[in-house]
Structure 1
Amino acid sequence: MARIAGSNRSERVLILASFVNRVGNGLFNAVSALYFTLIVGLPAVQVGAALTVAGLIGLLAGVPGGHLADRRGPRTIMMLALMVQAVAMSALVLVESWAGLAVIATVDQLAAAVGGAAWGALVVRVGTDRPALFRAKLRTYVNLGVVMGTVGAGFAVTVNTRAAYFVLILGNAASFALCALLLFLLPRYKALAAPPMERRWIALTDRPFVTFTALYGAMGLQYTVVSLILPIWISEHTDAPRWTVAAVSAFNSAVCVLLQTRIGSRIETPRDGGRAFRTAGLLFLLSCPLMALTAYAPVWAAVALAVTAVFVHSLGEIWESSAGFALGFGLAPDHAQGQYQGLLGLGFSAGQALAPAILTTVVLGLGTAGWLLLGAFFAIAGAFGPALERWGTRTRTQQKAAATEPSSEPDEVRA
């Protein structure tokens, strides 16, 4: 295993496992729609419907799956979820109908939600020394894995045969299985005891964290800006060459890979996270008008504006993801990290499901005004970060004080 500077053995194992898994994801996710439409022969509407149904059902598994990880250990639950995904992914080579795709995709999304919550709990248990630095490194390698996988996916697009797509599908399945096997190298982290009389679904009743989940899902709309909205905008509303679409996408990935650790390692506490959330909103407030201006610039000026806008947007993405780590993990109690990460994943996934419809309507429908509204929306959402952190930290302090309050029972009666 290649040594990752400044990381202990468990951190290196989880980084490598996550990297392997994301290479596999990048191999298939970038061309999945082409496989189902061009090779299997399903209408695009049916493919979209099947994946939407699967995604919505999968949202239901995050919190229960996270709770299971808290009570049975995150490594065990994550490994089981990965093996289910490996089987489901392999089964895609047998898909010939809408119903088959819907069933297999639903199984995959249920396992993905459970695995995502368990992954969050596992990250907390592994990254104990410098959690912010570890999470920044982890996201850097995850981004790099996706980029490498996406480059590999170009093979199938070029060849465009059933066999070529099968290689990608089975490669992704193998990445799930290999990721699960690598997790055997981690300690078997035991469940942490919950305070007596605590509610089972504590995350769902934690108002500051529920509020943060909603804001995090809303801020997550920014991922769709670069992946979907900006490419369409460049193609339909600017004089920039078509290759600009691929160039800005690659540039976005490169900036995130190169700067994630440098910036993210400094955002350690919930207080840092609240400020970073606000900074991210301000960066998006700057990047959105720059994207709008590309429609009014000549060819090379449009290209330069697009690159500048994506650079600023990428900085915002790094600050936003780092804020998500600091607040998402920092405001969650250690014994219920899985449940809290499951809730956070539910909010994020819901935002991603709604993003295409919202952004195509607002930005592409309103044009320049839509970009300005989007930038203002991000800035307003981000502005709540510091206040949300103070609210969350205050309630955490109150909960700890109540938990440590001396009991009125005699010592020999106390558990």
Structure 2
Amino acid sequence: MRSSQRARGGPDFGPQRALIAASFVSRVGNGLFNTAAALYFTLVVHLPATQVGVGLTIAGLCGLAAGIPAGNLADRYGPRPVWLTALAVQTVAMATFVLIDSWLAFTLVATLDRLAGTAAGAAGGAIVSRIGGERPAAFRARLRTYVNLGVVLGTLGAAFAVQIDTRPAYTALILANAASFAFAALIGLLRIPAYRPLPRPPGHGRLAVLADRPYVAFVALYSAMGLQYQTVSLLLPIWLSAHTDAPRWTVAAVYAINSGVCALLQSRLGSRVETPRQGGRAFRIAGLLFLLSCPLMALTADVPAWVAPAIAAAAVCVHSVGEVWESSGGYALAFGLAPDHAQGQYQGLFGIGFDAGQALAPVVLTGLVLGLGHAGWLLLGVFFATVGAAGPPVAAWAERTRPARTPAQERPDESPPLETTTDGVPEHR
């Protein structure tokens, strides 16, 4: 017999494990697809690289439109139905990629995929908020650790298909990614509770998050700080290839070190960042670490070829520790500042801000930083440190504007989720 003695509102580790499993599976699929996507569309579908870039840009910009509407649906009807629907649409869209033969078809399918991906992010954020239990920061840190591991495993698996370099090999990667979305949805359907929507206070509108100036300011900060992700994945590889004599394997080593450090430290450091105030301080720490790592990356152009890999490795280690602090601070603020009844809407805006920053990152990093050379790297580090320094005051401002919570408003769910047993696991006969 299942125990029903869990303290009301305490953490339910069954749904936590289920969400970790679903996220891990889908990110393995993402790693498989993202590694080889550009090669598939250019070498197999025979689309010019410029057309692929334009199509992905259009899809990314259109996808932003789904964030807040999907979040509102998650708040109104519960996050699980919206999340499962978005995963189903992603399954279909991804599988459809194997049938496209023109730029228009590619752009339409990519746009559908991005719309569903944005919706899944908003609804998934609301699920994370509900499942987090008494220590949400620790859970989010564990979740991100497994997400990183999933991407690494998917990337390693894709290397075999890239080496084979045939249409069937690339098709297998795409269908595997589609299957990963379907499998994640199945896990969610069977093991993640269908949480009831929380009651909204009077006057809370569908665009209330846009009137929350401290939260909008935080999203802007996080969007700007998000340039750091592509500093390692885009800017540094180009710099190593074009401005240094480092061996080509250095680029692969950079990816491996970044993923490894994040996976090793995410739970250890991320679990320490639970409150918005701690999140603001984590932002400041991250900015200072990026201020150190960026000049180190630039230094690889000024040392002998046999020293450059060591300098790059040291720089990426420092940068990766900053990434852990940055992501932990971002999650603490994104979830901690959002009202419980509107987590979907707020996570929708959070996702929009991040995606917009990532869309602009290639232009900023390759156009400005590479164009200025060493000075560009130094300015980038100063930029990150400045953004990080704004974290504590923004967090303090936001906390001052949050309404005081009464005991009746504390978030542990006052009633069990729909269609669940007493331990929060969906019951299926």
TM-score scaled to structure 1, two decimals?
0.94
State whether structure 2 residue 71 is matched by structure 1 residue 66: yes
**8 Å Cα contact 1:362/1:370 also seen in 2:** yes
String of CA shifts for 1:369-405, please: whole Å, max 9, x gaps.
000000000000000111001110000036989x99x
Kindly provide the amino acid, as one letter, of the partner of residue 106 in structure 1: T
User: 1 CA distance for matches of 2:12 and 2:153?
Assistant: 22
User: 2 CA distance for matches of 1:343 and 1:256?
Assistant: 25
Q: Cα distance, 1:199 vs. partner?
A: 2.5
Select 1:363's aligned residue among 350, 358, 369: 369
User: 1 CA distance for matches of 2:26 and 2:15?
Assistant: 17
Local SS of the residue matching 1:13: helix
Q: Cα distance, 1:298 vs. partner?
A: 1.1
1:111-122 aligned at under 5 Å gives the runs: 111-122=116-127
Local SS of the residue matching 1:194: coil
**8 Å Cα contact 2:297/2:312 also seen in 1:** yes
The aligned residue for residue 101 of structure 1 is 106
Q: Cα distance, 1:260 vs. partner?
A: 0.5
Select 1:173's aligned residue among 178, 181, 189: 178
Kindly provide the amino acid, as one letter, of the partner of residue 111 in structure 1: A
State whether structure 2 residue 217 is matched by structure 1 residue 243: no
The aligned residue for residue 198 of structure 2 is 192
State whether structure 2 residue 93 is matched by structure 1 residue 88: yes
Kindly provide the amino acid, as one letter, of the partner of residue 179 in structure 2: A
String of CA shifts for 1:175-234, please: whole Å, max 9, x gaps.
000000100211110000011122331111110000111110000000001101100111
The aligned residue for residue 422 of structure 2 is none
1:399-414 aligned at under 5 Å gives the runs: none
Kindly provide the amino acid, as one letter, of the partner of residue 151 in structure 1: L
Q: 1:294 to 1:335 in 2, by over 3 A?
A: same
Local SS of the residue matching 1:299: coil
Local SS of the residue matching 2:200: coil
Local SS of the residue matching 2:307: helix
State whether structure 2 residue 220 is matched by structure 1 residue 203: no
Q: Which runs of 5+ in 2 are unaligned?
A: 1-10, 411-429
Q: Cα distance, 1:300 vs. partner?
A: 2.4
Local SS of the residue matching 1:105: helix
String of CA shifts for 1:3-61, please: whole Å, max 9, x gaps.
xxx98111100000000000001000111010000001111111111111111000011
State whether structure 2 residue 147 is matched by structure 1 residue 142: yes
User: 1 CA distance for matches of 2:215 and 2:133?
Assistant: 22
The aligned residue for residue 151 of structure 1 is 156
**8 Å Cα contact 2:12/2:131 also seen in 1:** no
The aligned residue for residue 306 of structure 1 is 312
**8 Å Cα contact 1:7/1:134 also seen in 2:** no
String of CA shifts for 1:293-318, please: whole Å, max 9, x gaps.
11111122211110010000000000
**8 Å Cα contact 1:147/1:253 also seen in 2:** yes
User: 2 CA distance for matches of 1:316 and 1:382?
Assistant: 10
**8 Å Cα contact 1:222/1:317 also seen in 2:** yes
User: 2 CA distance for matches of 1:152 and 1:28?
Assistant: 10
User: 2 CA distance for matches of 1:399 and 1:199?
Assistant: 20
Of all paired residues, the percent bearing the same amino acid is 64
The aligned residue for residue 8 of structure 2 is none
State whether structure 2 residue 270 is matched by structure 1 residue 264: yes
Local SS of the residue matching 2:387: helix
User: 2 CA distance for matches of 1:267 and 1:30?
Assistant: 31
1:263-302 aligned at under 5 Å gives the runs: 263-302=269-308
State whether structure 2 residue 24 is matched by structure 1 residue 19: yes
String of CA shifts for 1:50-87, please: whole Å, max 9, x gaps.
11111100001101111111111111110000000000
Q: Which runs of 5+ in 1 are unaligned?
A: 1-5, 405-415
User: 1 CA distance for matches of 2:182 and 2:260?
Assistant: 28
TM-score scaled to structure 2, two decimals?
0.91
User: 2 CA distance for matches of 1:208 and 1:400?
Assistant: 22
State whether structure 2 residue 394 is matched by structure 1 residue 376: no
Count of residue pairs brought into register by the alignment: 398
**8 Å Cα contact 1:282/1:379 also seen in 2:** yes
**8 Å Cα contact 2:77/2:196 also seen in 1:** yes
Q: Cα distance, 1:149 vs. partner?
A: 0.3
Select 2:324's aligned residue among 291, 314, 318: 318
User: Aligned-pair RMSD on alpha carbons?
Assistant: 1.5
String of CA shifts for 1:280-335, please: whole Å, max 9, x gaps.
00000000010111111112221111001000000000000000110000000010
String of CA shifts for 1:78-101, please: whole Å, max 9, x gaps.
000000000000000101000000
Local SS of the residue matching 2:199: coil
The aligned residue for residue 344 of structure 2 is 338
